[in-house]
Structure 1
């Protein structure tokens, strides 16, 4: 059974009214919605309703109340200004994308220093029912607006596992957002069960923490990674750079792979500051027994510099762009 966060359940709006004018209109708001057969629960200065009721409330609020003194939130999330509610309604299309699983995966190669395919990163690609593309800079803000990040992350993980089943003798790197997982034992059960059903060797899958730099709850992340490790999977930290450099923390998490943020990779051959960061990163990776991976490699010069210093894995357009089918690398390093 899925929790409401991982499924596309009906949104529940919590609306908070402040100011004498708004509070004096609460009875009228409730009566107005009741006449339109829209159920509303009132508790002190708060109103609770579904999305249909919220749409009607917004119209009433903008015409008769003081919008600047009205806040709302969805399913106990963060409080937002009432004018942002329209964006929630405008992004309802994200529900269809998740419910109907309107997405696939592209494969981007991760190679060794010798140019051999070591793994593919599974990158989600989204589309509407008519086939038109939805870009990541559209999909994730929409999911955040409607509190669908949990459900979106889950459907992406499941799609990635299914697409990983076609790979032979190479690993699959699968992204996940730590904050989208409440309880590893519950939230990740469907992912691990699917991997087992498809006969995937757990060691073939590497779960990659998205936006490692932005992780605030390290204890929660540690719990998730411990779950993956217990199930036999490996894990990687993505976008590691100067801000995530506490060696004690990295040693505690013990990632199997550490990905150097592309901002320190691109142009590293000619930039002394980037070289310092890349070398510090490499030293830490070696110290804690993690495999160093440079992402975003686009030129032979950067690849050669990193390879000569001891980086073991590489990813970027120099080797291949994401593709619908697993491809060999376009440029064979010399």
Structure 2
């Protein structure tokens, strides 16, 4: 459960014993009469009891505590993505009809489906079964000397196996759990960096879309830094999915909060599109990371080389340091050493690992 310091949206999700895992009734309001008829037919074909709301606009399906996942799968099979997105769903425990008190609990059918099929993610988040891997960032002129470590999220399933962050964030986006996952990733990175005694800079990823209001949503992250004893000036908050930023003004407010609190800022995946370049003049990050799609093969591709040369010069003119990520070929490293980038990161130099790379 969220504690007194948590934003309600970002706190620990409900436990597997929450109402979402209990017996109750699912109310469904499809967007079209055709969708409603299709669902009714599917429920009847699967011998599921079904009723209608008093106004006959919606359907009522009794759900047993262990039937959420199966029902979610059936609903996913019977609806198109557009129908699932436009249908409204409300799960209620107990008797009674939905009223104003339940208005805030209404969600899209797509969200209910994602939560039902991804109950494992809710359980993982509630138990905080996540850890951090560390990938070093090196000085380009001395590629054995560590400049920083990027903290990378890894999940742990109930069998102790690793779960990729891509899978977790994909499902979290569908199930409206990005706020929870992103917050947990930030706090875990701080804790683990401190526990391992990382003495370099620390890059911590975050998703601006997972922050409503920086003062409220990010205070647990700042509190975790204070408890860890890490110096704020060593921590760099790295904006991921830079190319998907839809509200630059909101992003600027978030970054200003971090900057005024004494942290530094990085933009990830620069060069993967046009949006990231457009953010540079207004956001003025401390670091930018060149997208791996630009870096891979730069030594043999004049077009990539020209782009990196121009972007690096522009960044330096703005007082921004440049990290080239995705370095996997020795000839690309040699090219980068000759063309003024500041730092390099990639499998050629070191892969992510459960412990930090030894300092030189």
| Aligned counterparts, 1:68-217, within 5 A | 71-72=86-87, 79=108, 86-112=113-139, 113-115=141-143, 116-165=145-194, 166-217=196-247
- Tell me the TM-score normalised to structure 2 length: 0.75
SS in 2 for 1:321: coil
Change in Cα spacing, 1:181 to 1:45, as seen in structure 2 (3 Å) is farther
CA contact (8 A) 2:245 2:275 kept: no
Greater shift in the superposed pair: 263-272 or 280-289: 280-289
Following the alignment from structure 1 to structure 2, what is the Cα–Cα distance between the partners of residues 308 and 249?
27
| Aligned counterparts, 1:1-334, within 5 A | 1=4, 2-6=6-10, 7-9=12-14, 15-20=28-33, 45=57, 71-72=86-87, 79=108, 86-112=113-139, 113-115=141-143, 116-165=145-194, 166-241=196-271, 243-244=273-274, 249-328=279-358
Following the alignment from structure 1 to structure 2, what is the Cα–Cα distance between the partners of residues 246 and 117?
26
Q: How much has 1:178 moved relative to structure 2?
A: 0.8
| Match of residue 43 from structure 2 | none
Q: How much has 1:86 moved relative to structure 2?
A: 4.2
Structure 1: gaps (5+ residues): 26-35
SS in 1 for 2:142: coil
SS in 2 for 1:319: coil
Following the alignment from structure 1 to structure 2, what is the Cα–Cα distance between the partners of residues 86 and 246?
33
Q: Which runs of 4+ in 1 moved over 2 A?
A: 1-5, 9-25, 40-53, 66-81, 84-88, 135-138, 166-169, 242-249
Following the alignment from structure 1 to structure 2, what is the Cα–Cα distance between the partners of residues 148 and 127?
17
Following the alignment from structure 1 to structure 2, what is the Cα–Cα distance between the partners of residues 91 and 235?
33
Q: How far does the alpha carbon of each residue in 1:39-82 deviate from its partner, in whole angstroms, 9 at most, with x for none?
A: x99899468999869x67x959x79xx9566643577898566x
Following the alignment from structure 2 to structure 1, what is the Cα–Cα distance between the partners of residues 223 and 186?
12
CA contact (8 A) 1:94 1:139 kept: yes
- Tell me the TM-score normalised to structure 1 length: 0.81
Q: How much has 1:149 moved relative to structure 2?
A: 1.1
SS in 2 for 1:309: coil
Change in Cα spacing, 1:132 to 1:274, as seen in structure 2 (3 Å) is same
Q: How much has 1:307 moved relative to structure 2?
A: 1.6
Greater shift in the superposed pair: 187-196 or 277-286: 277-286
CA contact (8 A) 1:111 1:118 kept: yes
SS in 2 for 1:243: coil
Q: How much has 1:174 moved relative to structure 2?
A: 0.3
Q: How far does the alpha carbon of each residue in 1:162-183 deviate from its partner, in whole angstroms, 9 at most, with x for none?
A: 1121344310100001101111
Change in Cα spacing, 1:78 to 1:257, as seen in structure 2 (3 Å) is farther
SS in 2 for 1:320: coil
Change in Cα spacing, 1:232 to 1:270, as seen in structure 2 (3 Å) is same
Root-mean-square deviation (Å): 3.7
Following the alignment from structure 2 to structure 1, what is the Cα–Cα distance between the partners of residues 87 and 174?
12
CA contact (8 A) 2:31 2:87 kept: no
Following the alignment from structure 1 to structure 2, what is the Cα–Cα distance between the partners of residues 173 and 43?
54
Q: Across the two proteins, how many residue pairs are aligned to each other?
A: 315
Q: How far does the alpha carbon of each residue in 1:134-177 deviate from its partner, in whole angstroms, 9 at most, with x for none?
A: 22343222222221111011111010011121344310100001
Change in Cα spacing, 1:232 to 1:133, as seen in structure 2 (3 Å) is same
